[in-house]
Structure 1
Amino acid sequence: MKGFIALLLGISASAASCAAATPKAPGLTYLYSLNCTLGVSLPVGAGPHGTRTVIPIVGGTFSGPRMSGKVLNLGADWGLVDKDGTFSADTRYQLQTNDGAHIFIRTAGPAQTDGKLHLRMEFETGSADYYWLNKIVAVGVLTTGNGYVLIDGWQLESPK
């Protein structure tokens, strides 16, 4: 009877029983740790989504098992504070690897109750050696400092 009802609803009995199982979580592979130097912030005012402040990104370094290099003085965080007082990062900046490749990066994500920010990370490069970055989903955890931020980044991996 249960199988017949499932068929009437347009799903198979096996699909109906699988829906209740908890899927296996994806894994994370460490990408790098980044230390980013910040310039003097510039409040630019209120808008429809909150109050923006531009924070220049003026340098830094990053290092990990597959890539390392420097953060170029080409970017900023156009951070937003929403009506509830939560800061969310909205960055665009440029990395240069030690072997000369250029990697554009965008990050975005809200502050957490512990003061860290959880970031979505998106990479863009034409370098053959780092082209794999264009195809990944990555996340990061940002810790703030006085005039700098630290970001640890990971690549999302399919469950095994």
Structure 2
Amino acid sequence: MHLPTLLPLLTLPLAAALTPPSLTHLYSLNCTLGAPLPVGAGPHGTRIVLPITGGTFTGPRLSGTVLNLGADWGLIDSNGTFSADTRYALQTTDGAHIFIRTSGPGQPDGRLHLRLVFETGSARYWWLNNIVAVGVLTSGAGFVSIDAWQLESPR
């Protein structure tokens, strides 16, 4: 944008210019994990692979299963913080396949804050290819739960 395009924005009241985006619930996911595979310390941290072995997800616009196809290739940094780096596949109840990548760091409360990127060829779910999404991951013994949210423009 050049300055003349920005000028109308500069004259808005401060509150209007700072209206935050909202979040819309995409789905809640429960996923089972296989035994961890420690790769060991490397140039970027200590890598540990967590196989994704299945699960389910349910939301207002899409639901289905987590396929036994993928893993979290996470890293533990020098401060002991785990950061997720996943690639896995979802299958919706109507048979569409969705590839998903997530990444994000662990938080002091033990949860992870995730960035989610979707890829699908399905016409019905094509909208997923063009959204910004975030999630909160909670882990347990052999499973994780993720609540996923779509970022929406302010109204």
Q: Separation in 2 of the partners of 1:156 and 1:130?
A: 16
The answer for the alignment partner of 1:82 in structure 2 is: 77
Stretch deviating more after TM superposition (116-125 or 41-50):
41-50
**Match among 93, 96, 106 for residue 91 of structure 2:** 96
1:88-145 Cα distance to aligned partner (Å, 9 max, x none) = 0000000000100000000000000000000000000000110000000000000001
Query: Does 1:118 find its partner at 2:107?
Result: no
CA distance in 2, matches of 1:141, 1:13: 37
Give the residue type in structure 2 aligned to 1:66: R
For 1:49 and 1:115, the matched residues in 2 are separated by 21
SS class of match (2:110) = coil
- 1:4 aligns with none
1:24 aligned to which of 19, 22, 32: 19
Distance 1:63 1:83 in 2: 36
Aligned residues: 151
Q: How does 1:1-160 map to 2 (within 5 A)?
A: 23-160=18-155
The TM-score normalised by the length of structure 2 is 0.91
- Paired residue secondary structure (1:53): strand
> Partners of 1:131 and 1:75 in 2: how far apart?
21
Gaps of 5+ in 1: 1-9
SS in 2 for 1:72: strand
**Under a length normalisation based on structure 1, what TM-score does the superposition of the two structures give?**
0.88
Distance 1:158 1:38, change over 3 A: same
Root-mean-square deviation (CA), in Å?
1.9
Question: Whose strand proportion is higher, 1 or 2?
Answer: 2
Q: Report the Cα distance in structure 2 between the residues aligned to 1:31 and 1:20, rounded to whole angstroms.
A: 31
Identity over the aligned pairs, expressed in percent?
A: 70
Match of 1:134, SS? helix
Equivalent-residue separation in structure 2 for 1:14 and 1:61 (angstroms): 47
Q: Distance in 1 between matches of 2:130 and 2:8?
A: 33
Rg larger in structure: 1
Give the superposition deviation at 1:14: 7.1
